[in-house]
Amino acid sequence: MIAPQDVFPQIADWVANLDDVFPGSWVKPYFAQWEVVHLLSLALIGGTTLLLNLRLIGFGLSDEPPSAVRRAVLPWLNLGVAGILVTGVLIGTSNPERLYTSEAFTAKMLGLAAALVLTYGVSLPAARAEGRLSRGAGLWAAVGLAIFGLSLGVFAVAKLVNPGLWHLVIAAALLVLFVTRRRMRIIYLLGLVGLMATQVAIHHVIYRPDDYANLDPANKAMIGIYLAWILAAAAIQIVRGGRDPGGGPAVKALAYAGILVWVVTAAAGRWIAFA
Ligand code: HEM
């Protein structure tokens, strides 16, 4: 178990009391309303990080230099991040034991730390430098990727939560589909369709839909195959470059990570409810 209660057992009494005092007790009757603001903030973060990182990958607003895209999205990104942190803490204090006992929440907080480092330490500075990676940004990239890896590790071993990693696979598959072009896109799409058909066959022809003993390992193997296919296509796109140069290969790869790290954080947020 890697829930916060396993790492910080000494704060259990403080956590148990949080929803009886301000602000938790004050937010509790309006949990749903605050959660709506939480998700609206997420929409702002999603839109802005997509525009910023797609530009670095070499797609999207390619008429504008990366520094102009950065300038345009920065206030909205900051608003989204501030909004999600404030509302997150508020709804967290009104339902604290759910978070304290949740492995998904650990994955989410690690994802959030990695997302902040990769966005503010890497993507934004790289966009300001028109796609070049400074030594400082390179160091932040190493830190951000290491924390992102930890988040994925926690997510992957958390029982009843790890199916949420399919969100990462689907987001990565769609992202790569968006940035690939012409023949490459068709080949890539045919591969994805083939993998999906294989998975349907595994669930309905090869095994019975309730034969979990066989389906669990088969689905885990399928995740590996999907990721290999998606990563191979992304690697080709990164090396070939986009319609308009964004950053070099390292910046492009980090821009993919800069989008997907938010997807993983949001997916872990959603899966708090399922644990
Ligand atoms: C300080 C940081 C944060 C805290 C304390 C926090 C706290 C929470 C809490 C308490 C819930 C409700 C969980 C439940 O009862 O099911 C929630 C849901 C959620 N959070 Fe956060 N959050 C934070 C940051 C974020 C970030 C950065 C993201 C996205 C990148 C995010 C995305 C979500 C999503 C998608 C849900 C699920 C909403 C639903 O459909 O029920 N949160 N969060």
In percent, the amount of the chain with pLDDT more than 90 equals 91
Ligand 1: centre distance to CA 229 (Å): 30
204 lines ligand 1 (CB under 6 A): no
Does residue 266 line the site of ligand 1, with CB under 6 A? yes
Task: Report the sign of the C-alpha dihedral through residues 75, 77, 80, 86, in that order.
Answer: negative
CA of 35 to the centre of ligand 1 (A): 8
pLDDT of residue 236: 92
Classify residue 7: in a domain, yes or no: no
pLDDT band at 245 (very low <50, low <70, confident <90, very high): low
Q: Of all atoms in ligand 1, which is nearest to the CA of residue 89?
A: 5
Q: How far is CA 85 from CA 109, 112, 149, 150, in A?
A: 11, 10, 22, 21
Residue 242 has pLDDT above 60, yes or no: no
What are the percentages of helix, strand and coil residues in the chain, rounded to 5? 85, 0, 15
Cα–ligand 1 centroid distance for 42 (angstroms):
9
Output the pLDDT for position 244. 53
In whole angstroms, what is the distance from residue 77 CA to residue 81 CA? 6
Domain of residue 250 covers 12-271
Ligand 1 site, residue 265, Cβ cutoff 6 A: yes
Question: Atom 40 (ligand 1): residue with closest C-alpha?
Answer: 270
pLDDT at 243: 46
1 occurs within a structural domain: no
Number of the ligand 1 atom closest to the C-alpha atom of 95: 10
- pLDDT category of residue 113 using cuts at 50, 70 and 90: very high
Task: State the amino acid at position 75 in one-letter form.
Answer: P
pLDDT of residue 247: 72
**Is 184 part of any domain?**
yes
Q: What is the pLDDT of residue 246?
A: 64
Q: Are 117 and 87 within 8 A, CB to CB?
A: no
CA of 89 to the centre of ligand 1 (A): 9
Pick the residue whose CA is nearest to atom 20 on ligand 1. 269
Is the pLDDT assigned to residue 48 strictly greater than 70? Answer: yes
**Any domain includes 6:** no
Residue 206 Cα to ligand 1 middle (Å): 38
163 within some domain: yes
Is 112's C-beta closer than 6 angstroms to any atom of ligand 1? Answer: yes
Is the distance from the beta carbon of residue 83 to the nearest atom of ligand 1 less than 6 Å?
Answer: no
The total number of structural domains that make up the chain: 1
Q: What residues contact 129, with CB distance under 8 A and at least 6 apart?
A: 67
Please report the atom of ligand 1 found closest to the CA of residue 272.
Answer: 16
- Candidate from 87, 99, 272 with most ligand 1 atoms within 8 A of CB, to mutate: 272
What integer pLDDT is reported at residue 63 of this predicted model? Answer: 85
E strands present in the chain: none
Mean pLDDT of the chain: 95
Question: How confident is the model over 121-162, as pLDDT tens digits?
Answer: 999 999 999 999 999 999 999 999 999 999 999 999 998 899
Distance CA 107, CA 271 (A): 10
Contact 100, 12 (CB under 8 A): yes
CA of 269 to the centre of ligand 1 (A): 4
Q: In percent, how much of the chain has pLDDT > 70?
A: 97
Model confidence over 176-209: pLDDT tens digits? 999 998 899 999 999 999 999 999 999 999 999 9
> Alpha-carbon distance 96 to 75, whole Å?
30
51 lies in a domain? Answer: yes
Ligand 1 geometric centre to CA of 40 (Å): 11
